[in-house]
Amino acid sequence: MKLGFFFFLLAFTSVALGQQNNNYRGGLVSPPLPKPGFVLTDTSGAPFDFKQKTGGYVTLLFFGYTNCPDQCPMHMANLGAALKKVPAGIADQVKLVFVTTDPARDSPTVVRRWLDLFDRHFIGLTGTERVIGEVERAAGVPMATKTGPATGNYGVSHANFVLAYSKDNLAHVIYPGGVSKDDWVHDLPLLIKETWTHRAE
């Protein structure tokens, strides 16, 4: 949890640097974060091997929940709009993976219906709270926690940033809340064509 929070702060402090050097609009991470290997359930009810099924793509990983009042729909809306605006062929090389942090309410059907509001190609995953917690730890993000009443209309505190894994299976850039559609339109082509010094083993 402390590790995830460190990267969360790093993303915020690095965004200004990325904008200053007119390169990435997200926060640069050094050393980069390795893409985790895990299996969850997709919205069709089938097992989804994250590392295997996203190999060769720029992969955007986000943890959130469909009842989120602000940041989750904002991230998804900006990404959905950006993928429709980028040059031809770019969107086909990007996979957005949304992992729910509220599996009690976010059934596969609920997640699919919600993601379709933004982009029908977005991948939605769910599982048990225990397994999702393990996935969060593997990705190096803070553990999600419930806020407010124990049942009913509770909220979920969760990591509010998108991990961007490039084709080398490493996340060199993190995108915190506040990243706009235009920021994504700027960065997605860079992420696709970028060659990094570091390589995943």
* pLDDT value of residue 197: 58
What pLDDT shows up at residue 106?
Answer: 96
Q: What is the pLDDT of residue 61?
A: 98
Of 16, 59, 70, residue with least CA distance to 162: 59
DSSP-H helix ranges across 69-146? 71-85, 108-115, 129-139
Residue type, 123: I
CA dihedral 148, 176, 81, 165 (to 10 degrees): -120
Cα separation of 22 and 98, whole Å?
A: 28
* Adjacent-strand bridge partners of 164: 60, 173
The C-alpha atoms of residue 100 and residue 66 are separated, in whole angstroms, by 8
Burial of 130 (0-12, 13-18, 19+ CB in 10 A): exposed
pLDDT of residue 198: 46
Sequence-distant (6+) residues with CB within 8 A of 109 are: 43
**Residue 88 to residue 20: CA distance in whole angstroms:** 28
Q: Record the pTM.
A: 0.86
Q: Furthest-apart CA pair in the chain: how many Å?
A: 48
Q: Whose CA is closest to 125, among 96, 87, 160, 154?
A: 96
CATH superfamily of domain region 2-192: Glutaredoxin (3.40.30.10)
- Average model confidence (pLDDT) across the chain: 87
Parallel, antiparallel, or unpaired for β 123-126 and 94-100?
parallel
- Using an 8 Å Cβ cutoff, are 164 and 26 in contact? yes
Asked if residues 109 and 116 have their Cβ atoms less than 8 Å apart, the reply is no
pLDDT tier, 196 (very low <50, low <70, confident <90, very high otherwise): confident
C-alpha to C-alpha distance for 30 and 11, rounded to whole angstroms = 11
Encode pLDDT of 29-83 as tens digits.
989 999 999 999 999 999 999 999 999 999 999 999 999 988 999 999 999 999 9
Q: Which two tokens stand for residue 159?
A: 């990591």
